Chains A and B, each alone.
Chain A
Amino acid sequence: MPATVAAIAEAITMTDPSVYTRKIAAFCRMLRLEGLTAGPQETADACRILTVVGMEDRSRVKTALRTVFAKTREEQETFERVFDGFFVSEEAMRRQAEEYAKREREMEQARRQTEEELLLNGQPMDFDDRQREAYATMPPEERQKLRSFMDRYKESAARNPDLYSNFIHSVFAKSILEQQMLMEDAALGCGSADPELGLMYRDISEFKDTEIPKAIAAIQTVAQQINGELSAKRSRGGRGGKLDFRRTIRKGLETGGSFYRLSFRKKRHRKKRLVILCDVSGSMVQFSEFALRFIQSLNHASESSRIFLFSEELVEADVFSLENMDKFRSYVKESGTYGRGTDVGKALQKLCTASPPVLNDATTLLVLSDTKTVDLPKALQALTEAKRLSGRVLWLNPIPAHKWQYLRSAQAVASMCHMAACNDLRSLSQACRRLAQLQD
């Protein structure tokens, strides 16, 4: 009975505290690597609690340790993953080892095949190891497509290597780049197991129609949080003011000169204006709708904001026409900006030269765009001018930050102004919280 033997062995090891303290210490290191706070206090608590709970019941151990180490719902998710990876049964470990060995064998075979396939005119194509690895993980049908493409142009490449080699290389490079992006998405765990958490972490552009009401409800909840935080901050500002002597003395007269009730001064509050420049070209509509809804839910940001929609043209939007998704879409279509190309430079130029002026020192310019535009140099020049005219420029980009390295326009804009990645609701809410704080 191997299970009984294993249980006895475990029971024996449990009598020696050094065994499980070492195990817990190693587990804490794993948790720290995953970004959880597992300090000496938590480690000591975990050891202490294990002596009470014991190691017999795996799910009880998991719950007890989760209580100690995971301090948010998100951390609980991470904890579960690390725990399941660390405290595995013997059988599971064997299974994992077998799967790993099988995967390695497959990878080795794919690597050899890659070496053969990435040959052009008998010479290896100019790709680094990471790119070759990405190529090796591509689905067979994608690789087959590339091989067919190579076969088609092989003879031409042999005749005119300078012209065709570069062309073939660029086609391969594009496919490999797309595969690298997919691999990064997979590594980031974009599809979370928890449906509610998943919605917050999933790419906004991937939302299905049925999920939109839920996403909007999530936005409203987060906006409510932000509003709550700011109003709490503001009320603190008032209460913490200096003693108002004049009022206190005047009230004191009612009680024969004794100051029974003290009055305090309240700070005056001045708000900044917000100008939102919103890209509504094709793929940007869904993101823009969510972002605008978010911003409009923020009391402090929305009260004094102006919204401009742009694609190839710039149109000022009527705030009341953007109340819900249907209205927003029909408004965008009527404005004549929907589904056209993107010209950020033209939109910014028009905004800078508008009369009466839209931008000044007291305005924050917020751009909602993926930075993809025609005539990038013109866009950057106009952005410089907009930055000079307005108090602050913020850019919300629906493309995740780890992909900016592949986009020249994103890199250039990020170097010129503060750009936040807002590909999912969580990052969008973080950016909006920051925006509301700046506006307050």
Chain B
Amino acid sequence: MKLEELKQKMDEAHYIYDDTLATVLSVALELGRPLLIEGAAGVGKTEIAKVMAKALDRDLVRLQCYEGLDESKALYEWNYQKQLLAIQVNMGNQDADKLTRSLFSDEYLLERPLLQSIRSEKPVVLLIDEIDKADEEFEAFLLELLSDMQVSIPEVGTIGAKTVPFVVLTSNRARPLSEALRRRCAYLYIQYPDVEKELAILRAKLPHVDDQLCAQVAVAVHKLRSNEAILKKPSIAETLDWAAALDALGVKELTPDALRHTAGFVLKNSEDLEAVQQLDAGEHACHCGGHCGGHHHD
């Protein structure tokens, strides 16, 4: 897909992007490489996969990684209990070889996201979310899929992809990923958006919210993120939640009171809330960067 075409599709999906992101996505698509996206929590890594599914008009197949994830949860599993029942029911009715063969057929195969994505008739977008949470063995197991778009099941053999999915892997850098995995992927590192981009996101996602309030929220969030005392930086989703909450409360302007009452939407631990309260006692509490025009500083 050409870059301009991709940009048009992302515009249609109402996704706010910059040139770098569009170029990286276009390169990954052009080369047919999986895309590894790294960045802090809440910068919009997972959203990219969702938008790509929308832009490419494909289904999204999602594999959420966690400690202890193995191929039985990610690729396939034999329906052991059903196989056991089939053996007991058909004991003496069929010849043994036929029964054994039938036990390892599609009927007893439980497809998990990875297998589902390569056996799909229509190409899909495969999201392997938070790969850093999975074990190193699982990473090694993914290599075959990522480089050759095939998987090996001992009882069946090698299963090649019917259609090639666009694979997006995300990582919060909770642990370093292996060199082998990285080499197979195109790489993108994303950071928190700047004020303009965040404002554009707010406008696109919450068109009904007052523009001035959106601007104040965007600036305030930017200030919070750049504040060293804030340990858990607010994510884009939290910015949206905050703006929506302020709007639902009928707040037209981000005053220190409004900030105090709704800070829980954007800051999620007590230390950060305390830090903001301490700042609040200081000279310019609303973190509006002067955008409020000093209305509330009586």
Contact = CB atoms under 8 A, between A and B. Distances in A.
A187 B179 CA distance: 26
- Chain A facing B: main interface SS: helix
Nearest to A231: B67
Contacts of A236: 68, 135, 137
Contacts of A52: 30
A76 interface: yes
Given A37-B179, A214-B228, A239 B187 contact: no
Given A231-B67, A235-B67, A236-B137, A67 B23 contact: yes
Chain B, interface residues (CB within 8 Å), range: 35 or more
B199 interface: no
Contacts of A226: 175
A232 interface: yes
A220 B212 CA distance: 37
B23 A60 contact: yes
Interface in B17-44: 19-20, 23-24, 27-28, 30-31, 33, 36, 38
A258 interface: yes
A68 B32 CA distance: 12
Contacts of B68: 232, 235-236, 239
Contacts, number: 94
A225 B31 contact: no
B133 interface: yes
Contact-size category for A: 35 or more
Nearest to B133: A228
A71 B27 contact: no
Interface string A56-71: 0001100110111011
A239 B71 CA distance: 13
Interface of A: 37, 39, 41-42, 45, 48-49, 52-53, 59-60, 63-64, 66-68, 70-73, 76, 210-211, 213-214, 217, 224-226, 228-229, 231-233, 235-236, 239, 258-260
A233 B135 CA distance: 7
Closest 5 CB pairs of A and B: A71-B182, A63-B23, A232-B67, A67-B27, A67-B186
Given A37-B183, A45-B33, A214-B228, A228 B38 contact: no
Interface string B64-99: 000110100000000011001000100000000000
Contact of A228 (B67, B81, B137, B188): B67
B174 interface: yes
A71 B23 contact: no
A49 B38 contact: no
Contact of B189 (A49, A76, A225, A229): A76
Given A70-B187, A211-B228, A260-B84, A224 B174 contact: yes
A37 B223 CA distance: 37
Contacts of B175: 225-226, 228-229, 232
B185 interface: yes
B183 A49 contact: no
Given A71-B36, A210-B228, A213-B229, A258 B31 contact: no
Contacts of A59: 19
Given A67-B187, A72-B187, A224-B174, A53 B31 contact: no
A88 B185 CA distance: 28
Contacts of B186: 67-68
Interface of B: 3, 19-20, 23-24, 27-28, 30-31, 33, 36, 38, 67-68, 70, 80-81, 84, 88, 132-137, 173-176, 179, 182-183, 185-189, 228-229, 231
Given A67-B23, A213-B228, A258 B67 contact: no
Nearest to A42: B183
Contacts of B84: 258-260
Given A68-B186, A232-B135, A260-B81, A217 B231 contact: yes
A288 B73 CA distance: 44
Nearest to B229: A213
A72 B31 contact: no
Nearest to B88: A258
Nearest to B84: A258
Contact of B30 (A49, A235, A258): A49
B195 to A, nearest CB: 18
Contacts of B185: 71
A49 B31 contact: yes
Given A71-B187, A260-B84, 5 more contacts: A49-B27, A68-B27, A72-B38, A231-B67, A260-B81
Given A60-B23, A67-B28, A72 B182 contact: yes
Contacts of A260: 80-81, 84
Contacts of B135: 232-233, 235-236
A71 B19 contact: no
Contacts of B3: 53
Contacts of A225: 173-176
A213 B188 CA distance: 28
Nearest to B182: A71
14 contacts: A37-B179, A59-B19, A67-B187, A68-B27, A71-B36, A213-B231, A214-B228, A228-B133, A232-B175, A233-B135, A233-B136, A235-B67, A236-B68, A260-B80
A42 B187 CA distance: 12
A383 to B, nearest CB: 32
